[in-house]
Amino acid sequence: MAEMKTEEDEAAKPKGGKKKLILIGALGIVLLLGGGGAAAWFLGVFGAAEEAEVSAEAAAEAAAAERAQRRAEMVFVDMPDVLVNLHSIGQRNRFLKLKVALEVAGEASATRVKSLMPRVMDSFQAYLRALTVDEVSGPGGLHRLKEELTARVNLALEPVRVEDVLIKEMLVQ
């Protein structure tokens, strides 16, 4: 009889209750995600990412066009050749010869640079005479020389701005 009760208990238990619960929960999640995705689509969430991408591309194109226009407006002003004695420790004299061009934005700036060229030359001469051969040697020396000359020319020509000092020729003897 004890065996009969267990059979009756098993018959009284509902079969597949956990499976039905899992199936209903999974179906609810799928419907919720589908509805959320549809709502996001209709509200333009996905389109906003595409619009942001398009606007970023447009901004990059506008910046490239602006750079191209600035390059087209750039004017190069050749400076007179610079020949200076370098500071030397020994008895042998060392010389530095430079041919330089200044890059400026537009003809108005170029005219202003030409009118103030004596001031620029004075600034260059004072700086270059204090240099040693070691300070102008190698690629690092050339880079530091360009940076320093650019800073000095911008101080001499303020408010006119020189974009770059271009070294056309450099000879150390």
Q: Are residues 65 and 102 in the same domain?
A: no
pLDDT band at 164 (very low <50, low <70, confident <90, very high): very high
Q: Which residues neighbour 171 within 8 Å (Cβ) at sequence distance 6 or greater? A: 95, 96, 97, 98
81-124 tens-digit pLDDT: 999 998 877 778 889 999 999 999 989 999 999 999 999 999 99
31-88 tens-digit pLDDT: 888 888 888 777 766 655 566 666 778 888 888 877 777 777 899 999 999 999 988 7
The count of structural domains within the chain is 2
- pLDDT confidence of residue 115: 94
Q: Which residues neighbour 169 within 8 Å (Cβ) at sequence distance 6 or greater? A: 97, 98, 99
φ and ψ of 13, to 5 deg: -70, 135
Q: Which of 129, 125, 120 is nearest to 153 (CA)?
A: 120
| Average pLDDT value for residue range 158-163 | 91
- pLDDT confidence of residue 14: 55
Q: Are residues 128 and 167 in the same domain?
A: yes
Q: Which of 162, 161, 79, 59 is nearest to 128 (CA)?
A: 79
Measured between alpha carbons, how far is 126 from 100 in angstroms, rounded to an integer? 16
**138 compared with 165, residue with greater pLDDT:** 165
Q: Are residues 86 and 167 in the same domain?
A: yes
Q: Are residues 67 and 124 in the same domain?
A: no
Q: Are residues 129 and 162 in the same domain?
A: yes
Q: Which of 147, 101, 157 is nearest to 127 (CA)?
A: 147
Q: Are residues 65 and 28 in the same domain?
A: yes
Lowest mean pLDDT among 6-20, 66-80, 122-136: 6-20
